[in-house]
Structure 1
Amino acid sequence: MAKPRSARPALGRLALVTALAALTATVPLGSGAQAATAPPAVLPHAETPALHDDEAGGNADADDPAIWRNAADPDRSLVIATAKQGGLRVYDLGAREVQSLPAPAAPGQGDAPGRFNNVDLVRGMRVGTGRADLAVTSDRGTDRLRVYRIDRDRAGGPLTDVTDPSAPPVFSSSQQEISEQRTAYGLATWKDPSTGRSYAIVSRRERTRLALVELTAKPDGTVGYRQIRTLDLPDRFTLPNGASWSPCAEPGELPQVEGMVVDPANGTLYAGQEDVGIWRLRADLTGPTQLVDKVREYGVPGTYDKATEKCVAGADPGYGGTHLTADVEGLTLLGQDGGDGYLLASSQGDHTFAAYDRERSEGNAYEGGFRVAAASGAPDGSEECDGAAVLNEPLGDAYPHGLLVVQDGHDAPGDPERPSTDFKFVDAGDVLDAVGD
């Protein structure tokens, strides 16, 4: 299959095979440790200012990024990222903050405030009297979607909130149910080329449910949404030995989905069920589902210990995959609109990224992996990565081969008494060199 290339020499075949062998080495169950020989490393070129999930830091916690390309002036493109209760952050290509938008306040005493979980973009949607690019976020705190219009040259900042004030909860039927926080969680956007309509696929926290919602433009320039259908992924699985297995979790919690991405070339949705693996299905949530790859921990029995609030794992029966260590987190597509390229997945448990063939006809075969590592005099790497976004279109002088942005769950060196998170910026050409020729 033809793969997108960077302008620089790729890894030799022997080096790639060696890297693949290293990546598939056994990782101790649940340890989060790297394999003895790590996969190829790529180095970040820049990092955003640290965020702190405490009162002094505005309870900001880096989670999920999206990359907006300024077609008129690629050097002035933007990275839009969620900071959970800290709202949204907007960065330039130098990883400098250019705008900060707060999450909504709690609607009432005892209610949860807004908490932005995932973000994705919609290009060229008709809004009011014209077309606009939009950033759409899942607000886990209020069980709603929030929508922001993107205007790079706007004096007050590039993002403007255009959410319909009457937008309903995505999953909940009441504020009481919202307070239970089984709310909108993961998110991916999708435009149906046959109709031109724009959608978001939203997952539900602590449940396996996915919802397809259509984004709707209002006459006053705001954007709302309406639910089209839902789909529930499995929460229990029959193992080859005939046993029934479900990932260990706190009582009442089901294996949730967060990381998702839609391939615009064929309308395929890839959804990461964190403790299970990566699913492939239609973006309109009709038709069959297929598990593309499993986490290493798939099939491992576990017992929840209420005292420690942790799961105690039993013997591994050997039914899991070899490329992903739970949780499966950020999913993103590295490639062209024609469908060539890779599906990248954050393997959070061992701090690596796995790359799969983007073509369904090839069975989404595993193609390689990499890690975002630190180097002397450069930003630190990425650990326990949540969200990721990649764009391999030229982004001016800074990133002529495109850009990968990944969340870093443990920004270093930092203050040990005040853990911090941020986002790392990586040259997409380096990623292509690391995973293929």
Structure 2
Amino acid sequence: MRIALGLVAVVTVLAVTGSGPGPAPVLAADTEVTAGATVETEPVAHSGDAADDPAFWFDPNDSSRSMIVGTDKKGALETYDLAGRRLQRIPNVFPNNVDVRGNVVVAADDDTDEGVLRIYLVDPATRRLSSAAVVPTTVTAHGVCMYRSPKTDKLYAFPNAVSGRVEQWELTVRGSKVTAKSVRLFNLGRAVEGCVADEASGALYIGQEKVGIWRYGAEPDAGRTRTLVDGARPERDGHIQADVEGLAIAGDRLYASSQGSSDFTVYGRMDNKYLGRFRVANSGGVDGCQDTDGIDATSRPLGPAFPTGMFVCQDGYNVQGSSVQRQNFKFVPLDRVVQPIGEQPIPYP
């Protein structure tokens, strides 16, 4: 059985014993909020560990037409509307992570020896993705995040590898095509995947799976200076139970998937102070999220179903009744996450 829906804080003093298709305990003496998902997407086509990472595309004219781009790393890139219905399926690709800025979608596909960035453009009128470039990377692209520099307005993508290597690519859109050039390369030395870049602060956050969350600079000349935001247990003292997986930013908050405890940690966006944690529980007929890989979040209003924004998470165990179905993504109104932990988020873009 999973934790029932509720927006009250619960305190547990259990030690972490691992994750699975039941509610994993939170870290010792920590306070946790539970928030119910209200929508789930259609399952991906492939069984096993297939769904991985979601990202928002925002409709510039009608926020209720915004959509989620999600990865089926066993063979497709998919898009979903805000009711969870599949809009498009691009087969015969193997994207692990995906991110979006404006109408540019970048997916990290590590099915080849070197890995590639698969770059798509969204037609806002039809909400259809079309291929704009395939870029071989110096790293074996596994995770990816994007960044639009407030200094230069240049667009960047950060593919990273399970080896710990991170590369920064400058992307240039010309009509229906995108060109790319590598502008930065550094190495964390051990497995990374989840990352998110912040236009408000110029920060690049990278999740080193067994170690914790690092904060780097996102500009190409930022070098290798870094700060540890939070550590991952059992290797380091911190609030995350390894692995560190998806990272996301919304409002005044930074979110991380604490995969080993099947919940999510929350930090201040600017000062990176730890604020609390929450679990996405089942709500009515909608299952919650456990053993989560990728996440995304936004404080933008997304129509009547999500007026204060949304948190979306990959579900490692998509339970329907007494059976486990193919994996999918779950949508949570952002106020269910924000209000129990603290103040309403600042509406950053």
TM range (shorter): 0.7 to 0.9
Counterpart CA distance in 1 for 2:176 and 2:36 is 42
Q: How many residues align?
A: 328
Is the 1:74–1:394 Cα contact (8 Å) retained in structure 2?
Answer: yes
Cα distance per residue 1:337-371 (max 9 Å; x no partner): xxxx11100111111100011113xxx11101110
Match of 1:311 in 2: none
Residue 429 of structure 1: CA displacement? 1.2
> Normalised by the size of structure 1, how large is the TM-score?
0.71
Is the 1:171–1:204 Cα contact (8 Å) retained in structure 2?
Answer: no
Cα distance per residue 1:199-249 (max 9 Å; x no partner): 0111112x111111111335x63113111121112x4xxxxxxxxxxxxxx
Q: Which runs of structure 2 are paired with 1:113-132 in the superposition (5 Å)?
A: 114-123=93-102
Residue 71 of structure 1: CA displacement? 2.4
Is the 2:96–2:110 Cα contact (8 Å) retained in structure 1?
Answer: yes
Match of 2:320 in 1: 413
Counterpart CA distance in 1 for 2:234 and 2:240 is 9
Cα distance per residue 1:302-329 (max 9 Å; x no partner): xxxxxxxxxxxxxxxxx522x2111111
Is the 1:149–1:161 Cα contact (8 Å) retained in structure 2?
Answer: yes
1:270 to 205, 211, 216: 205
Match of 1:106 in 2: none
> Normalised by the size of structure 2, how large is the TM-score?
0.87
Residue 67 of structure 1: CA displacement? 1.0
Counterpart CA distance in 1 for 2:171 and 2:107 is 12
When residues 189 and 415 of structure 1 are mapped into structure 2, their CA distance, relative to the original with a 3 A threshold, is: same
Residue 29 of structure 1: CA displacement? 5.1
Cα distance per residue 1:54-102 (max 9 Å; x no partner): 4xxxx88211111112121111111111111221111111011111111
RMSD value, Cα: 2.2
Is the 1:51–1:60 Cα contact (8 Å) retained in structure 2?
Answer: no
Match of 1:389 in 2: 296
Structure (1 or 2) with the larger CA radius of gyration: 1
Match of 1:141 in 2: 111
Cα distance per residue 1:262-284 (max 9 Å; x no partner): 11112101110011100011113
Q: Which amino acid letter does the alignment assign opposite residue 40 of structure 2?
A: E
SS at match of 1:98: strand
When residues 213 and 379 of structure 1 are mapped into structure 2, their CA distance, relative to the original with a 3 A threshold, is: same
In terms of fraction of residues, the more strand-rich structure is 2
Counterpart CA distance in 2 for 1:209 and 1:60 is 24
2:159 to 199, 202, 209: 202
When residues 31 and 68 of structure 1 are mapped into structure 2, their CA distance, relative to the original with a 3 A threshold, is: closer
Match of 1:27 in 2: 15
Q: Which amino acid letter does the alignment assign opposite residue 40 of structure 1?
A: V
Percent identity, please.
Answer: 38
Structure 2: 5+ residue runs without aligned partners?
A: 1-6, 344-349
Q: Which runs of structure 2 are paired with 1:172-191 in the superposition (5 Å)?
A: 183-191=140-148
Match of 1:49 in 2: 42
Match of 1:62 in 2: 51
Q: Which amino acid letter does the alignment assign opposite residue 330 of structure 2?
A: K
Structure 1: 5+ residue runs without aligned partners?
A: 1-10, 104-113, 124-132, 173-182, 236-254, 299-318, 336-340
Match of 1:370 in 2: 278
When residues 29 and 290 of structure 1 are mapped into structure 2, their CA distance, relative to the original with a 3 A threshold, is: farther
Counterpart CA distance in 2 for 1:201 and 1:27 is 35
Q: Which runs of structure 2 are paired with 1:134-173 in the superposition (5 Å)?
A: 134-142=104-112, 143-154=115-126, 158-163=128-133, 167=135, 169-171=136-138
Is the 2:16–2:261 Cα contact (8 Å) retained in structure 1?
Answer: no
SS at match of 1:288: coil
Residue 53 of structure 1: CA displacement? 2.9
1:320 to 237, 247, 251: 237
Cα distance per residue 1:139-171 (max 9 Å; x no partner): 1113111111111323xx52111115xx3x212
Residue 415 of structure 1: CA displacement? 7.8
When residues 31 and 121 of structure 1 are mapped into structure 2, their CA distance, relative to the original with a 3 A threshold, is: closer
Is the 2:259–2:292 Cα contact (8 Å) retained in structure 1?
Answer: yes
